[in-house]
Structure 1
Amino acid sequence: MSVSPVSRSVPPEIVTRHFDPVLKPDLAPLYAAREARLNALAADHPAGDYLRFVADVTHAQAELLDQVSAGSTDPATAASEPGWLDLLDRLMTALKASAPAAVAPHFDAIAAMDRAARQAAGVALATGRFTQVDAAIAPILWAALSEQMAVSVRAEGAALLPHAGPHDGGFCPVCGTAPVASMVYGGMEMRGLRYLHCALCECEWHVVRAVCSNCGDGKDVEYLSFDTAEAVVRAECCDHCHGYLKIVSAERERTAEAVADDLATLDLDDAVANEEYRRTGFNPWALPREDSAGPERVN
């Protein structure tokens, strides 16, 4: 199968000014921005129907925020608790009326699962055992679990995990999950700062732009993108660990959003994989086809 060519560019200079090491964005505006970006990207996109469905799920998440009670901030423990299961039922109820016909069988499959089976699937997802859950229903389960986790870590003021450090950027310092992508922000206060966005709890953590977010190497990093080095979405590739993660620029597109822009550029993943790089994060709406709890730790 042929893939589109990619262009290459070198990484920018390290950002040296003051920054907040960990961000916990307010969920209501985060969901609203994601929904709007997904709908905008869906226009004329080959996967437009899917992007619009994800936008609808995101809208439902926002509508249900005030019905979520905080629970554990540990992913596996949270998946074992009842809170996200109740949220899952409410989420499906909110979506059934407007969901595409193709999605209805997936809702039926979830409805046919007893709570123990749903709970087991949630624990499998939370611990990176993606192949143990039907790929057709996994993103819907993840949406409920993610919202539960996101509310919990904000309510409890979760402390950073023991592993969190300047050269362990590949894992969320709040819940330990891999990132979706990294964002380079615009605006007066955050212009040029790069934050990785957690695939589960929606927190973000700072990693300087001139180093690999997976292994910390700063000598063998380059960007791959379609058509131009000034693309909004590029793949940050490291020849030291042979990993890559997409970097999304809100400097170049003010409305860019990590989950939405990553999901809309899966063709770039195919091209970068053809260059023999391994993705070190994942998008919850395009979960990996192999079991993984996150990127490989590199010494």
Structure 2
Amino acid sequence: MPEALPPDQASRHFAPLIQSDLSQLYSRRAARLHALAEGHDHAPYLHWAARVTEVQATLLPEAGACGPLAGGAIAHAGHCMGLLDRLIERLAQDVPAPVAPHLAALRGLAAAERLAATQALAAGRFDAVPAAIAPLLWAALSLQCASAARAAPLPPGGSAEPPVCPLCGTAPVASLILSGEHHGMRYLHCPLCESAWHMVRAKCSNCGSAADLDYLSFDTAEATVRAESCGVCRGYLKVVSLERDPHAEAVADDLATLALDDAVAGEGFQRTGFNPFALPG
């Protein structure tokens, strides 16, 4: 069943788009990844994702505005290639043994090959890029896009609630149920430009139907992370609740619950978004 809206949500003022400070966002994400890694079956990878996020934060001063905000345009122009070079250099200073061969492979690619791979990711051709290096290419592309998004004029507000980011057109990583000023409201988080856009809770984030929604989790109905599945379009996207855990974070909590994706996919649903550290393909 669809979740009921909080009683006052329909009449409350809300921001159609939220752009968190990137330094704070990366810090929060890295801390959450490290915390979720404790006792996790995939702890080394969660710690590695945290390390990549920490390096993204150190590169913020080098990622300025670069023209049109679109992953394809930024990738085509090669604006993020310098960031990728610095990302690789800094990660190489302290790289876990299992990751070292993949980082070396990325370092060994010619500049034209790196650019072509980044352009493929920006175009959604994830299967064209080796899964082991794709998240690092995405990290540089995302850092540039996120910085560009914060320098770009915001689109005019309206009643439209698109299934993809209204700024860059990317599918979301997850839904967030916020606390604080926007308590109880749902925002979809973009894994490319790191913006979040509002969408009411009582409908599918993909097709907009409210006819046949269900919420699945390994825990109780009050779990912090659940999968919202739609019987109409057969899609699903995770819902991460900051009301239930104020330390939760969209990318981190989604990445730490990939086993839930496997279970929901086993029920015949297809994910309508993706995680930057577990790209499809």
| TM-score in terms of structure 2 length | 0.95
**Matches for 1:112-261 after TM superposition, within 5 Å:** 112-159=108-155, 166-168=160-162, 170-187=163-180, 189-261=181-253
**Offset at residue 36 of structure 1 (A):** 0.6
Per-residue deviation at 1:49? Answer: 0.5
Give 1:5's aligned residue: none
Amino acid across the alignment from 1:221: L
> What count of residue pairs does the alignment treat as equivalent?
277
Correspondence for 2:102:
106
- Indicate conservation of the 8 Å contact 1:234/1:247, yes or no: yes
Distance 2:15 2:155 in 1: 15
Compute the displacement of 1:69 (Å).
Answer: 2.2
Q: Is the 8 A contact 1:68 1:83 kept in 2?
A: no
Describe the shift of the 1:197–1:178 C-alpha distance in structure 2 as closer, same or farther (beyond 3 A).
same
CA displacement 1:60-80 (0-9 Å, x = unmatched): 111110111221311111002
Q: Secondary structure at the match of 1:152?
A: helix
Deviations 1:239-266 (A, max 9, x none): 1111000000000000000000000000
* 1:286–1:165 distance in 2 versus 1, CA, 3 Å: farther
CA distance in 2 between counterparts of 1:134 and 1:38 reads: 23
Q: 1: distance between equivalents of 2:215 and 2:208?
A: 15
* 1:184 partner letter: I
Cα distance in 1 for residues equivalent to 2:209 and 2:2: 14
1:180 Cα deviation after fit: 0.3
1:118 offset after TM fit, Å?
A: 1.0
Letter in 1 for 2:261: D
Structure 1 length normalisation: TM-score?
0.89
Q: Over residues 78-114 of structure 1, what are the superposed CA-to-partner deviations in whole Å (9 max), with x where a residue is unaligned?
A: 0022321100111111111212111111111111111
User: Does the Cα contact within 8 Å between 2:2 and 2:210 map onto a contact in 1?
Assistant: no
Separation of aligned partners in 1, 2:245 and 2:204:
23
Work out the CA distance in 2 between the residues paired with 1:91 and 1:83.
Answer: 14
Query: Which structure 1 residue ranges, 5 or more long, are not aligned?
Result: 1-8, 290-299
Match of 2:275 in 1: 283
CA distance, structure 1, for counterparts of residue 4 and residue 160 of structure 2? 18
Partner SS for 1:54: helix
Aligned pairs (5 A) from 1:8-47:
10-13=2-5, 15-16=9-10, 17-47=12-42
Partner of 1:53: 48
